[in-house]
Amino acid sequence: MNLDNILSQESIFLDFTADDKEDALRQLCTLAADVLGLEMAPIYSAIRYREALGSTALGSGLVLPHGKVDIIDSTRLFLARPGERTKLDFGCPDGLPARLIALILTPLRPTPEYIKLLAIVGRIWNSPRNACLLMDCPDQKSFFATFMGLSGALN
């Protein structure tokens, strides 16, 4: 799967701080809106709607908030890594705080990339080696390059 049109270096938010889950989601939706040149409200509304249906925290520190947004026409991925001292409780089944948040936005009619994207993010993060590589990236550029390299190795 080619991620070139789904993830950009500007779509990565590293070492952020947030007071809680809601604050983190609001910040991520604001980032997504800024990158896409859109208003934040419809994005945040879609994410909150999905979270109300059930937690998107998978475990091992991986959280996959996602939503269908009527103002976009293609699937987009935004990756966030909280700062080391930020302990965000997203309700992961194993009790671990969020370490990687992958915000996925899809159009109202999700594209085929959506399910593939969920699988790619999960497969990358569920490898302890890969998770360490991503956690050790010092900046946005290296995180982007590492994630793209890891996703390319899955193909």
Task: Tell whether pTM > 0.85.
Answer: yes
Using CA atoms, how far apart are residues 136 and 153, in angstroms rounded to an integer?
19
Share of the chain above pLDDT 90, in %: 75
CATH of the domain at 14: 3.40.930.10
Question: What digits encode the pLDDT tens for the residues 42-87?
Answer: 999 999 999 999 888 888 999 999 999 999 989 999 999 999 888 8
Domain residues for the domain of 99 are 9-150
Residue 3 located in a structural domain:
no
Inside any domain, residue 41: yes
Instruction: With respect to residue 98, please indicate whether it lies within any of the assigned structural domains.
Output: yes
pLDDT band at 155 (very low <50, low <70, confident <90, very high): low
In a domain, 26, yes or no: yes
Task: Name the domain count of the chain.
Answer: 1
pLDDT in tens, 111-141: 778 888 888 999 999 999 999 999 999 999 9
> Does any domain span residue 2?
no
Return d(Cα 26, Cα 35) in angstroms, integer: 14
